[in-house]
Amino acid sequence: MLCPLPIALTIFLVLAFSEPAQARRSVPGKVPTALARIPGQLVRCGWLAQKPPSRPLLNTTKHEVSVFASRELGVSGLQITQLTGGRSRAKVFSATKRGALKGVVKVYPNAGEVSLDMAAVDKILRAGLKEMQTIKVQATTSVVGSEQGVALLSAAKGRFVADSLAALGRLRRGNERSAALERLSEDVRKVAGAMAEQHLSMATGKVVTRRFKEEKLQRLQRHWFRVLKSGLVTTAEAAKVNTALHELSSRFRAEHLSATVIHGDAHLGNYAVANKVTMIDMGGMRAGAPAALDVGRYWQSFVGFGAMSGLTQAEVKTLQGAFISESIKRNPALRQSHASQSVAAADLGIHALSMVVAKRTPANGSRDGSSNDGVARKMFAQVQATLGIGAGSLATSF
């Protein structure tokens, strides 16, 4: 039986929109103070004993999360709701009181990831940006007998673009929906502006190294090989994608790119919009990277979130257009980095597809009964479109 598109897309979006966590060692009870750069990557260095971590949790049930959040916030009667969380990724809980969001508790699979997030928050705070801000890490703890790390985060101000997109998708076609699309385009332009401010203000003054580019391309190749191995694509289709990827890689290598600090997982669920834009989930932040990687990834994420939210292709294009035109207006150098944006867009699509095909045939070789080939084929069509192959190309309008 084919898995319905929205369910499968939810699963893959949830699973796939993060850069895979690198092997991170947990350092229970320790918090990083500063950032060091080891070839272009932010790493933790030094440890701060400023605010000791809270008493460890025995487990991460709603009750325990509630006790932790209440104690740290000094607020009783919190309602805890789980927002996200699967077997292998972070669990996120909202802590509300009478409908008002007081904080968010995030349970990371590995305590080291708390440190990476905190280091990135620190880096953004120190950059003193005007349009972009981030949340604060208010308290941390660990889980007894587990690698997991737990952080209490301040509530992001405003509305997540992913949530606004979902709300838009629920409206009937007509004036109301058109007005909501226009408002959302305005939000998306704000994200573009704030992202540009971040990328320009945090430029390192150097260019992106060859090594960085090769790492990025190797990652893309790895995901693509996984798709090839799955047998989902025909030899003829594979040949076309190979040619397109080869050509794209050459153009990416040739681009002269300023290096900056990027979010690293820039998608619609990681930016909230109010007067300012608030960026969350920054454990994948990297220095020495081109702005175009965030821009291309964000641009491409309209496709997956749009499909999941029931948007039309025209609406997705409107939002992508609003985002990319404002991005280029604010950061004109992006005009010279089309290939980098396409690499980020292709990477997002192929990575998501590789996650879906990885689940296609279980290790024992038998189908798991919820074959998602239909979804995978749709996603493959999107990947082809991103690469400018086949009918109905969505993309390459950067």
Ligand X SMILES: Nc1ncnc2c1ncn2[C@@H]1O[C@H](COP(=O)(O)OP(=O)(O)OP(=O)(O)O)[C@@H](O)[C@H]1O
Report which secondary-structure segment, H or E, holds 65.
helix 62-73
Q: Is the dihedral of CA 37, 42, 44, 48 positive or negative?
A: positive
Q: Which does 24 bind (CB under 5 to 8 A by kind): Mg ion, ligand X, none?
A: none
CA distance 386 to 320: 13
Residue selected from 72, 113, 281, 326 as contacting Mg ion according to rule CB under 5 A:
281
Q: Which does 232 bind (CB under 5 to 8 A by kind): Mg ion, ligand X, none?
A: none
Contact 319, 335 (CB under 8 A): no
Between vectors from CA 219 to CA 216 and to CA 224, what angle results, nearest 5°?
A: 130
Residue span binding ligand X (CB under 6 A) among the ranges 11-19, 222-230, 254-262, 332-340: 11-19
Q: How many CB atoms lie within 10 A of CB 289?
A: 27
User: From its phi and psi, is residue 361 left (phi > 0), alpha (psi between -120 and 50) or beta?
Assistant: beta
Site track 243-282 with ligand X (rule: CB under 6 A), x = hit: ----------------------x---xx---------xx-
Q: Which residue is nearest to Mg ion (CB)?
A: 281
Site track 61-100 with ligand X (rule: CB under 6 A), x = hit: ----------------------xx----xx-x--------
Q: Pick the closest to residue 46 from 54, 56, 36 (CA basis).
A: 36
CB of 70 to ligand X, least distance (A): 17
Residues 119-148 that bind ligand X (CB under 6 A): 135
Q: Which is nearer to Mg ion, 53 or 269 (CB)?
A: 269
Residue selected from 8, 104, 105, 257 as contacting ligand X according to rule CB under 6 A:
104
CB of 125 to ligand X, least distance (A): 14
Largest CA distance in the chain: 62
CA distance 321 to 379: 21
3-state secondary structure of 94: strand
CB of 82 to ligand X, least distance (A): 10
Q: Which is nearer to Mg ion, 112 or 269 (CB)?
A: 269
From first CA to last CA, the distance across the chain in angstroms is: 38
Residues 251-280 that bind Mg ion (CB under 5 A): 269-270
Residue with tokens 């703890």, as numbered in its chain: 141
Q: Which is nearer to ligand X, 255 or 281 (CB)?
A: 281
Which residues would be at the binding site for ligand X (CB under 6 A)?
14, 17-18, 83-84, 89-90, 92, 104, 106, 135, 153, 155-156, 160, 265, 269-270, 280-281
